Homo-oligomer: A and B are copies of this chain.
Amino acid sequence: MEKVPMRITYQRKIILEELKNLGNHPTVDEVYMVVKKRLPKISMSTVYRSLEVLSKNGFIKKIEPVDTQKRFDDNTSTHYHFYCKNCEKMKDAPLKPEMVKKLEKEIGAIEKIMEGNGYKVDGYTLEFFGTCKSCEQK
């Protein structure tokens, strides 16, 4: 979470305030809509940039997919993925089948707990990211 020079502008104060009011992980659009009530002239790009900066400086946390593009896999069995930020490829997580089995069981138990709490769990995604072996070797 590398810090970045950040000015405390009026817009950013309000965006942070309203984000906290909203609670539950709002989308940028949701933040925009409530902030606009107090700052009718604010633009979407300001909200985007401000949220980005606030998260880079550790005030808030960004929730975003490891990779936004759709991908398709000819292997239909359960396994986990590793996204390499360098070559931008999605690889199979380099794990032995017994490790995958173990994790699957572990997470399955967690799902049961959530079901017990009144949630209906259809599934989950677990993706790792970083630099893959072949990129790392260079």
Is A25 a contact partner of B66 (Cβ separation < 8 A)?
no
User: By the criterion CB–CB under 8 Å, are A113 and B126 in contact?
Assistant: no
Is there contact, CB below 8 Å, between A114 and B82?
A: yes
Chain A contact surface mostly: mixed
Whether A122 is near chain B, meaning CB under 8 Å from some CB there, is: yes
Bound: A110/B72 CA distance, A: 24
For this chain, the copies found in one complex come to: 2
- In the bound assembly, the distance between CA atoms of A23 and B99 in angstroms comes to 22
CB-based contact B131/A72 at 8 Å: no
Instruction: Mark each residue of chain A from 70 to 113: 1 if its CB lies under 8 Å from any CB of chain B, else 0.
Output: 11111110000110010001110111000100010011001101
Interface residues of A (CB under 8 A from B): 16, 19-20, 23-29, 31, 51, 54-55, 58-76, 81-82, 85, 89-91, 93-95, 99, 103, 106-107, 110-111, 113-114, 117-133, 136-137
